[in-house]
Amino acid sequence: MDALAECGDVICVDRLVDPCLEMGAIIRRSYETRSPAPLFTRLTGVAAGHRVLGAPAALSSDPRRPLARVALSLGLPAEVTGRQIVEHIAEARRRPTVPPVEVATGPCKENIRVGPRASLEGFPAPLLHLGDGGRYINTWGTIVACTPDGTFTNWSIARIMMIDEKRLTGLVAPGQHLHKVWRQWAELGRPMPYALVQGGDPALPFVAGMPLPDGVEEAGFLGALTGKPVEVVRCETVDLMVPANAEIVIEGYLSTSPDADEGPMGEFTGYIPQHGSKQPSYTVEAVTHRHDPIWPHVVEGQPVDEFHTASGISLAAEILSHLRAAGLPVSTVWAPFESATHWTAITVSGTWREQLPGLTSGELVERIKDALATCRAYVLLTRTFVLDDDIDPSNISELIWALATRWHPTEGHHVRTGPIVPLLACYSPAEQASASGPKGVYDCLLPEPGQGRLVRSSFQHGYPADLQQEVVRTWTP
């Protein structure tokens, strides 16, 4: 918060605001006007001192530092580029994980409510979109769950809707690690212990939303990413550990079967589904929190919001790490925010032909397609474009120009059918129902030198380097 204030990228909303739609409308408006992050200090029906931070990792209001909120969340300078952020996360994937360390207590234990006193009354539970199926208390928090045998602990993000002050429900989607852990408990006929964490390390949502491989625990990777172990404390009523510096922790159990109506909710695709679904229900057994806690909230919708920044960047970093581990000469990966992360752009080294002699561009794209199919992020991919690394795919103007001029209308299309996330808006109802659909990987690589290769006509590429430097030094528009 202090770093955002220094950047002029947070604004206090001190007037009384209604959590029923008004707060969500202000946050949505802040995305679409690239305004500072709104910090709500007075909300109707919410206990005094409880605050809400909207748009915590959206695009910055400073056009010179568009990814400042993302960068600061990850402990990086506000000025870094998208490519540098992706590289930072991907590099951390190559390091050993750093397990969390238990401490005796922490700020999240400043207030403790257990049993009958454990209620969400007085906490912000906003109706975020017109058409949502209910009030959503979790849009940026982390769900902690552990397998019954204690061998794997998952930290993940999934939306959670309030039924009443003691009961919640939320998406437990097949294919996600949360669902796999829940199924193990359900097969034993026992409700799953959970903890829902709001706040904590600002990098936590980026890691909790990252499609890490099976067996990799988010807590350990967060330690590798930040360079220090996460300090955790033991919950009050369940055998789980949570970040000691969290703002709010809700504890309880998740039912063994889908017994509650959940949704719909405005989604990252930019649309509100027509129907909800049956999902398991969470009971609230304990609530612990800081004095005057800050509850972060995201209002998903048409790009750009946190799903597109945080999830898109984490997705790109995981794919980059995976492709490099497969021995492919990949320079960077980017999921364009403006595509609602339905697109992915992969750039390969300008020397890929020397690194892989005798390989055609089509064969390289086939190798990339095969490697992507073994990545856990594969379910999120719809269209993947493979380009030369003279393109910066995080520059949307440059990316669109490259696709328009290098993507052939009919050739170089490599398509296979695979698992999909049903929420992806480009698929038909039948494909969404079956959770399976086509995925395209497109060869947008330039021809070999001497075979009609295009030469870029731009300031960076069309003039001698010394002349570029002189023009930059002497000419100010």
Over the stretch 295-346, which tens digit does the pLDDT of each residue have?
A: 999 999 999 999 999 999 999 999 999 999 999 999 999 999 999 999 999 9
Name the amino acid, one letter, at 464.
P
In the chain, % of residues over pLDDT 90: 95
Name the amino acid, one letter, at 282.
Y
Does residue 179 surpass a pLDDT of 90?
yes
pLDDT score, position 235: 98
pLDDT tens, position by position, 437-454: 999 999 999 998 777 677
477 within a domain of the structure (yes/no): no
3-state secondary structure 422-462: CCCCCCCHHHHHHCEEEEEEEECCCCCCCCCCCCCCCHHHH
Q: Based on the number of CB atoms within 10 Å of its own CB, is 459 exposed (0-12), middle (13-18) or buried (19 or more)?
A: exposed
476 within a domain of the structure (yes/no): no
- Domain end residue (candidates: 25, 53, 85): 85
Q: Looking at the structure, do residues 380 and 257 belong to the same domain, yes or no?
A: no
Contacts of 384 (CB under 8 A, 6+ apart): 343, 344, 345, 346, 368, 369, 372, 439, 440, 441, 442
Residues 463 and 405 sit within 8 Å (Cβ to Cβ): no
- Give kind and range of the element (H or E) at residue 347: strand 343-348
The position carrying tokens 């009958």 is: 116
Look up 267 and say whether it is catalytic: yes
Q: Looking at the structure, do residues 54 and 103 belong to the same domain, yes or no?
A: no
pLDDT score, position 353: 95
- Domain end residue (candidates: 40, 55, 85): 85
Q: Looking at the structure, do residues 248 and 351 belong to the same domain, yes or no?
A: no
pLDDT score, position 142: 98
How confident is residue 358, by pLDDT bands cut at 50, 70 and 90?
very high
What DSSP character marks residue 309?
A: I
pLDDT score, position 457: 86
pLDDT tens, position by position, 193-248: 999 999 999 999 999 999 999 999 999 999 999 999 999 999 999 999 999 999 99
Q: Looking at the structure, do residues 377 and 290 belong to the same domain, yes or no?
A: no
Q: Looking at the structure, do residues 293 and 334 belong to the same domain, yes or no?
A: no
Q: What is the DSSP string of 174-239?
A: TTSHHHHHHHHHHHTT-PEEEEEEEESSTTHHHHHTS-PPTT--HHHHHHHHHTSPPEEEE-SSSS
Does residue 13 surpass a pLDDT of 90?
yes
How confident is residue 460, by pLDDT bands cut at 50, 70 and 90?
confident
Q: Looking at the structure, do residues 456 and 400 belong to the same domain, yes or no?
A: yes
302 within a domain of the structure (yes/no): no
Positive or negative: CA dihedral 220, 226, 229, 230: negative
Contacts of 396 (CB under 8 A, 6+ apart): 336, 337, 338
Q: How far apart are CA 210 and CA 90, in angstroms?
A: 11
Q: Looking at the structure, do residues 198 and 69 belong to the same domain, yes or no?
A: no
Domain that holds residue 13: 2-85
The residue annotated as part of the active site, out of 87, 217, 267, 318, is: 267
203 within a domain of the structure (yes/no): yes
Q: Looking at the structure, do residues 149 and 76 belong to the same domain, yes or no?
A: no
C-alpha distances in angstroms, 432 versus 179, 275, 421? 18, 13, 7
pLDDT score, position 89: 98
In the chain, % of residues over pLDDT 70: 100
Q: What is the mean pLDDT of residues 65-81?
A: 96
pLDDT score, position 426: 94
Number of structural domains, the chain?
A: 3
pLDDT score, position 352: 96
How confident is residue 136, by pLDDT bands cut at 50, 70 and 90?
very high
Q: How far apart are CA 202 and CA 214, in angstroms?
A: 24
- Domain end residue (candidates: 85, 115, 149): 85
How confident is residue 456, by pLDDT bands cut at 50, 70 and 90?
confident
Q: Looking at the structure, do residues 101 and 36 belong to the same domain, yes or no?
A: no
How confident is residue 362, by pLDDT bands cut at 50, 70 and 90?
very high
Cβ neighbours, 10 Å, residue 370: 13
Q: Looking at the structure, do residues 164 and 289 belong to the same domain, yes or no?
A: yes
321 within a domain of the structure (yes/no): no
pLDDT score, position 455: 79
CATH number at residue 439: 3.40.1670.10
Q: What is the mean pLDDT of the chain?
A: 96
315 within a domain of the structure (yes/no): no
Q: Looking at the structure, do residues 155 and 291 belong to the same domain, yes or no?
A: yes
Does residue 178 surpass a pLDDT of 80?
yes
79 within a domain of the structure (yes/no): yes
Q: What is the mean pLDDT of residues 6-16?
A: 96
CATH number at residue 203: 2.30.110.10
Q: Looking at the structure, do residues 134 and 255 belong to the same domain, yes or no?
A: yes
475 within a domain of the structure (yes/no): no
> Maximum CA pair distance of the chain?
77
pTM of the model: 0.94
